[in-house]
Amino acid sequence: MNTFDLALQQLKEKGYKKTKQRERIIEIFASHDQYVPAKKILQDMQEEFPSVSFDTIYRNLYLLSRENMLEATELEGEKHFRLSCGTGHHHHHFICTDCGKTKLIEFCPMESMEEDLKGYEVENHKFEIYGKCPQCG
Amino acid sequence: MNTFDLALQQLKEKGYKKTKQRERIIEIFASHDQYVPAKKILQDMQEEFPSVSFDTIYRNLYLLSRENMLEATELEGEKHFRLSCGTGHHHHHFICTDCGKTKLIEFCPMESMEEDLKGYEVENHKFEIYGKCPQCG
DNA sequence: CACTAAATAAGAATGATTACGATTTAGATT
DNA sequence: AATCTAAATCGTAATCATTCTTATTTAGTG
């Protein structure tokens, strides 16, 4: 089963309605193996739904993020999203500053941080590497 | 020499003018050992300079960042700044999500990434840990 | 004291994101 | 298939951080 059908199935299982707009949003993500800004999703959506509202875009982006179907990160002051990759295991990304495509980084630096953070309660962390991928470099 | 005087001296050496506003901005940073948003700087500034403009704040924040006197990071969609700590050597931070105070992290995960990134041109990276510091936890 | 480039003030403009009332629609029920 | 209801969407306005523009002021120099 491909990522598109998988995502739709997950939505159904969680009791969300299937709408044309929602389908299209997921479709757009499935065809971009990269982080894309909300703005880009809006533009792509407008081709099929000329009167789609900001609200629909953002509401769905956050819904999909909450349900772990999207990963989010802030790049240059704009929120960017991509379909969650893989099996839900923890990972990080190299992000190409040209094309936005990503490379999975399995290594997590938190594994070696316990002793340095005695007394600190860790809630979250971010490890991202930015640069040019082989195609853009 | 304390951080405040050091910063002023650096500005002078680089040929920037000494203004009351600039002095105050640095003073504010020197009294906050933590990441603070531009908004906070503006508010503190207004106590002494009721008619200070956004422009003055942002222009100086970017000037000071460019000159490596401030470190910047994006937290919750807002740019945050803090006085550069230490001797200019590369480091990362634990950032308290309550009080904003930071703890220096000497370890840099990039040291063990070369082989994973063959063919990729690394420009930058971000490693930040978020949570509660001992005082807030 | 006069000069000039740098810095600031005031406020408008921009751009991303959020909010909201009115309308439509998916999916369940009859 | 018709009805119902909560969820989803639309259309638009509001908000918020940030950037820009023009006129004015000021620091430092001669």
Give me the amino acid identity at A55.
Answer: D
Q: Residue at minimal CA–C1' distance from D16?
A: B78
Contact across the interface for A116 and B107, Cβ inside 8 Å: yes
Six token digits for residue A125: 């962390």
Of chain A residues 35-74, which have a beta carbon within 7 Å of strand C? 37-39, 53-55, 58, 62
pLDDT tens digits, one per residue of A63-120: 999 999 999 999 888 899 999 876 568 899 999 998 889 999 999 999 989 999 999 9
pLDDT tens digits, one per residue of B34-65: 999 999 999 999 999 999 999 999 999 999 99
Q: Report DSSP state, residue B52.
A: -
SS3 B104: strand
pLDDT of residue A51: 93
Assigned fold of A3-83: Arc Repressor Mutant, subunit A (1.10.10)
Q: Is A115 annotated as a binding residue?
A: no
Domain(s) of CATH 1.10.10.10: residues in chain B: 3-83
Q: Distance from A76 to chain B by nearest Cα, in Å? A: 9
Verify if strand C has an atom below 7 Å from the CB of B32.
no
pLDDT tens digits, one per residue of A21-32: 999 999 999 998
Verify if strand C has an atom below 7 Å from the CB of B16.
yes
The C-alpha atoms of residue A9 and residue A34 are separated, in whole angstroms, by 22
pTM: 0.89
Domain(s) of CATH 3.30.1490.190: residues in chain B: 92-131
The C-alpha atoms of residue B87 and residue B90 are separated, in whole angstroms, by 9
Pick out the nucleotide with least CA–C1' distance to A57: D9
H-state helical runs in B1-137: 3-13, 20-30, 38-48, 54-66
CATH of A92-131, one of 3.30.1490.190, 3.20.20.70, 3.30.390.50, 3.90.180.10: 3.30.1490.190
Verify if strand C has an atom below 7 Å from the CB of A9.
no
- Give the CA A67 to C1' C25 distance in Å: 23
> Which positions in chain A touch B114 (Cβ < 8 Å)?
none
- Give the CA B62 to C1' D21 distance in Å: 19
Six token digits for residue A122: 């860790």
Q: Is A125 annotated as a binding residue?
A: yes
- B87, pLDDT greater than 70: no
pLDDT of residue A114: 92
Question: Inter-axis angle of helices A3-13 and A20-30, to 10 degrees?
Answer: 140
